[in-house]
Chains A and B, each alone.
Chain A
Amino acid sequence: MKKSKTRNVEENDIIAGQEALELKKAKSKQAKKFRSKVMAITWIFIILFFFMSGYICYIALTNEQELAENPYNSFQQILMEQNTRGRILAGGGEILAETITDINGRESRVYPYGNLFAHVVGYSTHGRAGIEAEMNYFLIQSNITLPQKATNGNLGQKNAGDSVRTTLRVDLQDVASRALGVYKGAVIVTEPQTGRILAMVSKPDFVPAEIPALWDDLVNSTESSILLNRVTQGLYPPGSTFKIITALEYIRRNNQNINSYSYNCTGHYSANGLRINCFRGISHGRIDFTTSFAKSCNASFANIGEFLDEKLFRETLDELLFDEVLPFSLPYNRSRIDLNSDTTPAEMMQITIGQGRTQITPFHLNMITGAIANDGILMRPYLYEAVVNENGANVRRYSSTTEKRMISEEEAAVLKKLMESVVLDGTATRLRGLSYSAAGKTGSAEFGNVKGVSHAWFTGYAPAENPQICVTIIIEGAGSGGDYAVPIAKRIFDAYFD
């Protein structure tokens, strides 16, 4: 009896123990479930914060310059209280702009070359323009050494801002500016193999230091376009210089073969109710393709143009960056050309000789010429060698970069030959027989409704066999390219190869 009772108790104990064990198991299972849920939620938050931190780094460390330039950002004021504005230097170290502090601590911006670099260097009062605007972010920073800063701190002086060393050459800028004289117009000089911009002249110009005094007049006068940088912003009808592009399209459609072309020029070409005259009505007689180009025969090119395919031509123009963004950061205008499937044959005839509604900037034409000179490869145009601190050490370096292949090497070779023929036996013979060989294309672009008044164009390069320098010139309303623009090119080439 007693024994059985004990057994009973033992059995009960075992049952109770099992129940407890099961309960505990269930509980621990529940706990595990709970834990995994909490951990999942924890990880979600960790990932969320990871992305947010990445985003913070992204916004803080990219677009620093763009954010700093925003007029709502007080960074500029902070920096300008600490640092004096740095210098802008030419390639040879000449000072193009600097800030001078007088004994009263008043700062003034000085431009030692006066109006010579007006548009490209720009100004920094009443807003900013040119390099002063584009490189503002670097000019107002100072990367001098800490001991120098400490010394300045003790003396109560500001720190010297970093300087911008440009690719510009004072001698070439000077020659180009003098050559242009009192004419309105623009000159750009570049290195086709690197993309360096050596000179950039736009006339009429101004003295940057006088901007505050001139400002009201400039703003009020509607006629004045003094502040316009004609090199990058001036839109002109390309005139005969456009024949480079028409020729390229012809070459493309005829497998680089131009030998079979022949045309009998009678001084004009009439079709589709439109009459295209040669310059000064000269009839060129029976001519081949090269002579058509060298003599700039309008009739012959109108003849070519009438049979070009609009769609394919449009593709070529797109590759040449017409109506497109250019790889350049100073303000510029896009070249415009009205060519699409709606273009009539009559319009096409005008387009091929660079008249009609087509407009191009000297800068863009220079890029195309440079790409041809560089065997079809367009180098990215650039203005800056480096940003340097007060001690001359580099803060930032710029280098030559390839933008893209604009045309094929074969096409470039044919175009180069054509452009050489312009100098040897065409409209730019003033460049013949010099110590260097040149190549290029002239243009006399009619504008407005007045007959016989034209902008003088020249775009070309030298030496023809190994192009070092590429120039593009426009003189507003001067006359023929061969008479007015080519001599300026000669003076620039002379100065460069001297």
Chain B
Amino acid sequence: MAAFQVYYTELSKYAITLLMALYTYEGFAVFRYENEDKRANIYIRQNILMFLIHLACFISIYFEKNEIEYLFFYIFQLILLYATIIIFRTVYPRLNRLLLNNICMLLSIGFVILTRISYIRAQRQFAIAAVSLIIALAVPYIVRKAGFLRKLTWLYASVGMATLAVVLILGQSNLGSRRIFTFAGLAFQPSEIVKILFVLFVAGALYKSTNFFQVFSTMVAAAFHIVILVVSRDLGSALMLFVVYVLMVYLATGKWWYLLVGIVGGSAAAVVAHEVFSHVQVRVQAFRDPWSVIDNQGYQITQSIFSISRGGLFGLGLYQGNPTAIPIVDQDFIFSAIAEELGLIFAICMILICLSCFVMCMNIAVQLNDKFYQLVAFGLGIIYITQVFLTIGGGVKFIPMTGVTLPLVSYGGSSVVTTIMMFSIISGLYMIPGSKSHAFHAHKKKHDIGDPQNLSPKEALNEEEQDKKCRRK
């Protein structure tokens, strides 16, 4: 290593950590201002910070690799991220910019760490992200215009179940689970897109009526989805659908005992699955005591823990660690790779960014005044955060490993497409009440339906307290 590279590696670790901490801080500082104009400065600062982190990381990569193609790859990434920010803002001026910034940030972290782990895979990821973002540009418009979407309830369920069943029968086995489907040379993981369909299905079925029959029929369909997923060994997706289903039923019906039944039923099902399926037992064994089976089932998780512990607070620096010692690091264990080379602080900041996306989804859900939309925003947000929790928690032995990807960061075409679609649907929903309230404002000069554009999420959180205060007065 040349002297300048030694200096750069050592100093950039701290710089990147600092920039990341600042970015994360700004993401929460936004909530101090109610006014979108004042927030605009913060959003721009966030963009600058993101580009600085991205640049700092790519300088490291370039020092190590010294190949011109890495330079070009950096420029392409830069263009994509910049174009995403500019075009989305131009097309949708009322877009939630914090969400947009966070999505770009997570994508850029993914690009960096994937470039470090596997250049070829990073390129593929980049291409898929680019295409997804282009498609995503139309999604908010479609969401706004296509009212019929709420009427396709059972179509979503049928398509979802049929897709999963086809994959189970015809799909190829990948790393012990049948979830990949190859069509025309392209490998899909349909369970990813089924997640969105499932949320649309449950929202469509429950937004109008929540009588017992309605709940029961959705339950049968949900159980069908989940059982297929468990049999295809896609435990992560099964768990995500389960969580989102139980929470959506609770929210739609408002009855807490549905929650209780869900938890009890889910626990019973988990025990049964553990007894019946050896692949579930293997996961639990690897979680309970990976050290005693370090050669076999425990290898991945122990390597992941080694990786995180090597990094320390500031990380070893890109290319200075050995994250590739973890099998499938680019998918299930991307968090460990980030913690090792970019540091624990960086990794924790990334968790906060993911949480910020989730909180934003929840805020959007409560600000909507249409139950179908509310349920969709809520469901998609829960799917997202559950997936984040399962990946990171599984990778650090907080919970048993379920083998799901970290949305937007991990390598995985279907995952990236799905996550970008999810967030663009949510963005579309965010702009719906805005336009409605706009029309409302034109007629009457009274506003009792808050315009989310002017209503900060923090304010939304506090609104209830304010209501209580008013009542007391």
Binding site for B on A (CB under 8 A): 24, 28, 31-39, 41-42, 45-46, 48-49, 52-53, 55-57, 59-61, 63-64, 67-68, 70, 72-75, 77-78, 146, 149-154
CB distance from B3 to the nearest CB of A (A): 4
Q: Mark B373-405, 1 if CB is under 8 A from A, else 0.
A: 010001000100100010011001110000000
Taken residue by residue from 287 to 312, chain B's Cβ proximity to chain A (1 for < 8 Å, 0 otherwise) reads as: 00000001000010011011011111
- State whether A63 touches B309 (Cβ < 8 A): yes
Known: A68-B310, A150-B7, A154-B2. 20 other contacts (CB 8 A): A28-B448, A34-B251, A36-B464, A37-B250, A41-B362, A42-B359, A48-B389, A56-B392, A56-B396, A57-B344, A57-B348, A59-B308, A59-B396, A61-B309, A78-B310, A78-B321, A146-B6, A150-B4, A152-B6, A153-B3
Consensus secondary structure, chain A interface: helix
Contact B10 A45 (CB under 8 A): no
Closest CB of chain A to B44's CB: distance in Å? 27
In the complex formed, the residue of B with least CB distance to A73 is B306
Q: Is the CB of B302 within 8 A of A64?
A: no
Query: How many residues in B have their beta carbons less than 8 Å from beta carbons of A?
Result: 58
- Chain B contacts for A24, CB-based, 8 A: 448
Give 9 closest A-B pairs by Cβ, nearest first: A150-B3, A153-B6, A73-B306, A153-B1, A150-B6, A35-B366, A67-B309, A154-B3, A42-B362
- Is the C-beta of B159 less than 8 angstroms from some C-beta in chain A? no
Q: List 22 A-B contacts (CB under 8 A).
A: A31-B366, A39-B362, A42-B362, A45-B389, A46-B359, A56-B347, A59-B305, A60-B308, A60-B309, A60-B339, A60-B344, A61-B313, A67-B306, A68-B310, A73-B306, A78-B322, A146-B6, A146-B7, A146-B10, A150-B3, A153-B2, A153-B6
**Minimum distance in angstroms from B151 CB to a CB of chain A:** 22
Taking CB atoms, residues of chain A closer than 8 Å to B378 are: 38
Chain B residues within 8 Å of A38, by CB? 251, 362, 365-366, 378
Cross-interface CB contact of A72 among B2, B294, B308, cutoff 8 Å: B294
Contact of A61 among B1, B10, B344, B460 (CB under 8 A): B344
What is the distance, in angstroms, from A370's C-beta to the closest C-beta of chain B?
36
For A75, the chain B residues whose CB sits under 8 A away are 306, 310, 322
Nearest-CB distance from A202 to chain B (Å)? 32
Contacts A32-B464, A150-B3 given; does A73 touch B355 at CB 8 Å: no
- Contacts A64-B309, A67-B309 given: A52-B254 contact, CB under 8 Å? no
In the assembled complex, which residues on chain B have CB atoms less than 8 Å from the CB atom of A72?
Answer: 294, 299, 302-303, 306
A68 adjacent to B309 (CB under 8 Å)? yes
CB distance from B251 to the nearest CB of A (A): 6
CB-defined contacts of B250 to chain A, threshold 8 Å: 37
Minimum distance in angstroms from A12 CB to a CB of chain B:
21
Tell me, in angstroms, the Cα distance from A57 to B339 when the chains sit together. Answer: 10
Q: Which residues of B contact A55 (CB under 8 A)?
A: 396, 398
Q: Which of B1-49 contact A (CB under 8 A)?
A: 1-7, 10-11
Best-buried of A32, A55, A73 by chain B (most CB within 10 Å): A73
Query: Given A45-B358, A46-B359, A151-B3, does the pair A67, B251 have CB atoms closer than 8 Å?
Result: no
Q: Given A45-B389, A52-B389, are A59 and B309 also a contact pair (CB < 8 Å)?
A: yes
List chain A residues, Cβ under 8 A from B348: 53, 56-57
Q: For A39, list chain B residues within 8 Å (CB).
A: 362, 366, 461, 464
On chain A, the residues within 8 Å of B310 by CB distance are: 68, 73, 75, 78
The interface of chain B, by Cβ under 8 A from chain A, is 1-7, 10-11, 247, 250-251, 254, 294, 299, 302-303, 305-306, 308-313, 316, 320-322, 325, 339, 344, 347-348, 351, 355, 358-359, 362, 365-366, 369, 374, 378, 382, 385, 389, 392-393, 396-398, 448, 460-461, 463-464, 467
- Give chain A residues whose Cβ lies under 8 Å from the Cβ of B397: 59
How far apart are the CA atoms of A73 and B299 in the complex, in Å? 10
- Expressed in whole angstroms, the Cα–Cα distance for A148 and B16 within the complex equals 23
Give CA–CA (A152, B1) in the complex, Å: 9
| Least distance between A158 CB and chain B CB atoms (Å) | 11
Contact B3 A52 (CB under 8 A): no
From A37, A56, A75, residue with most partner B Cβ within 10 Å: A56
List B contacts of A73 (CB < 8 A).
Answer: 306, 310
CB contact under 8 A between A35 and B355, given known A70-B306, A153-B5: no
Assess the A56–B306 pair: CB atoms within 8 A: no
Q: Residues of A contacting B392 with CB < 8 Å?
A: 52, 56
The distance from the CB of A440 to the nearest CB of chain B, in whole angstroms, is: 45
Give A149's nearest chain B residue, CB to CB.
Answer: B6
- List chain B residues, Cβ under 8 A from A152: 6
| B396: contacting residue among A35, A37, A52, CB under 8 A | A52
Q: Please indicate which of the listed interface residues B358, B366, B374, B461 has the most CB atoms of chain A within 10 Å of its own CB.
A: B366
Give the residues in chain B near A49, CB-CB below 8 Å: 351, 355, 389
Give the nearest-CB partner of B11 in chain A. A146
Question: Which residues of chain B are near A150, meaning CB under 8 Å?
Answer: 3-4, 6-7
Asked whether A53 lies within 8 Å of B254 as measured between CB atoms, the reply is no
CA A438 – CA B339 in complex, angstroms?
A: 58
Nearest chain A CB to B377's CB is how many angstroms away?
9
* Given contacts A34-B374, A153-B2, A42 and B358 within 8 Å (CB-CB): yes
CB distance from B123 to the nearest CB of A (A): 27
Supposing A34-B366, A49-B389, A74-B306 touch, asked if A56 and B398 sit within 8 A by C-beta, the answer is yes
A154 to B4, CA, bound (A): 9
* Given A72-B294, A78-B322, A37 and B254 contact (CB-CB distance below 8 Å): yes
* Inter-subunit contact B3/A35 (CB<8 Å): no
Q: How far is the CA of A60 from the CA of B308 in the complex (A)?
A: 6
Complex: A75 Cα to B463 Cα, angstroms = 51
How many angstroms between the C-alpha atoms of A68 and B397 in the bound complex?
18
Residues on the B chain within 8 Å of A151, using CB: 3
> What residues on A are CB-neighbors of B322 within 8 Å?
74-75, 77-78
B308 contacts A41, C-beta separation under 8 Å: no
How many angstroms from the CA of A35 to the CA of B4 in the assembled complex?
A: 54
Task: A336 to B3: give the CA distance in the assembly, Å.
Answer: 57
